[in-house]
Chain A
């Protein structure tokens, strides 16, 4: 078999690239900008959860605006990561792509943590952080109109 095909797991990048070190670097408070179009944070998760009798009621209030803006950022960073991993699967030595992946994977993780802390879980291991009840099924499901953002948000 070996004479027909090279099974090597190392794909022979021409020089070393310290992905761990680069991925570990922090970029400061880049994600702490104003999602709501105003300063301060008057739209806490507690307000969101208690002021709305139904998800439709929340469509126009500030807490939802900031929630959707944050979800939109998660989608943007998630998409950057989706795109990067496909490219890197077949171009593993591309340093620029690797740096792109590291940057956006880090931003995505930070945004997911921010969303979890403010609005609730998007992933199964983020459920009930700081809550006393089961919150996984609290919000509109992602395939519903109420569970989605307008792209123009």
Chain B
């Protein structure tokens, strides 16, 4: 169950349209380390968590990732809504425009469509939490790269916020992993999968 709150988690107010930036930032919507993959990764993985604290964390971070999906979508929407045709013709965004006009559709900056192959749900708490920590770092690097390429302060501001959240999530996943490991049989962390080996 989810309840929508009609506001962004962090404000997005971009004055100048910019087709080229949109064609780059779309990767954080539907790219390999984007917010859609992040949200579906955590919300899918939580069912296999034997530790309620880890399950709660995956639910709450997964929910926050949905809010980040909305922030990235708002950035893309505001960068493209008022574009003139000439601005589109002379930019890499033209390739996206052919199929989606200025609608929002999850794809990578490369043009590849979103796919659930971008994330894993392995059904093993230790494996999944390690993936989650790596995912946060990969998303942080992607935001770092975008921040290097963007010079509009209106766009940089929400990108910096999103980058910071990756670091906090990484920290929390690290604590969740530590909690799970501490409750395992200390003689053999990898001898069993606590989500499957029940007898």
Interface residues of chain A, those whose CB is within 8 Å of chain B, are 1, 3-7, 9, 11, 71-72, 74-75, 78-79, 82-83, 85-87, 89-92, 121-124, 136, 139, 141-145, 148-151
In the complex where A4-B194, A92-B53 touch, is A86 in contact with B9 (Cβ < 8 A)? no
Of the stretches B10-18, B88-96, B138-146, the one at the interface is B10-18
Q: A86 touching B57 by the CB < 8 A rule?
A: yes
Q: B13 touching A78 by the CB < 8 A rule?
A: no
Cβ of B151 under 8 Å from chain A = no
Q: A90 touching B53 by the CB < 8 A rule?
A: yes
Cβ of B169 under 8 Å from chain A = yes
**Complexed CA–CA distance, A116 and B131 (Å):** 41
Cβ of B6 under 8 Å from chain A = yes
Q: Which residues of B contact A123 (CB under 8 A)?
A: 3-6
Q: A142 touching B53 by the CB < 8 A rule?
A: no
Q: Which residues of A contact B8 (CB under 8 A)?
A: 75, 142-143, 148
The interface size of chain B toward A, counting residues with CB under 8 Å, comes to: 42
Cβ of B56 under 8 Å from chain A = yes
B175 in complex: contacting residue of A3, A11, A90, CB < 8 Å = A90
Cβ of B83 under 8 Å from chain A = no
Q: Which residues of B contact A83 (CB under 8 A)?
A: 168
Q: A148 touching B52 by the CB < 8 A rule?
A: no
Cβ of B192 under 8 Å from chain A = yes
Q: Which residues of B contact A150 (CB under 8 A)?
A: 11, 13
Q: Which residues of A contact B70 (CB under 8 A)?
A: 142-143
Chain A residue nearest to B104 (CB atoms) is A143
Interface residues of chain B, those whose CB is within 8 Å of chain A, are 3-15, 50, 52-54, 56-57, 60-61, 64, 70, 73-74, 77-78, 157, 168-169, 172, 175-176, 179, 183-185, 192, 194, 197-199
In the complex where A4-B192, A143-B70 touch, is A90 in contact with B11 (Cβ < 8 A)? no
Q: Which residues of B contact A6 (CB under 8 A)?
A: 183
Chain B residue nearest to A71 (CB atoms) is B7
**Complexed CA–CA distance, A97 and B167 (Å):** 19
Q: Which residues of B contact A5 (CB under 8 A)?
A: 50, 183-185, 194
In the complex where A90-B175, A122-B5 touch, is A143 in contact with B12 (Cβ < 8 A)? yes
B184 in complex: contacting residue of A4, A122, A139, A142, CB < 8 Å = A4
Chain B residue nearest to A143 (CB atoms) is B74
Chain A residue nearest to B15 (CB atoms) is A145
Q: Which residues of A contact B197 (CB under 8 A)?
A: 1, 4
Closest Cβ–Cβ distance, residue A66 to chain B (whole Å): 16
- Among A11, A83, A151, the one with the most B-chain Cβ atoms within 10 Å of its Cβ is A151
Closest Cβ–Cβ distance, residue A105 to chain B (whole Å): 14
Q: Which residues of B contact A149 (CB under 8 A)?
A: 11, 13
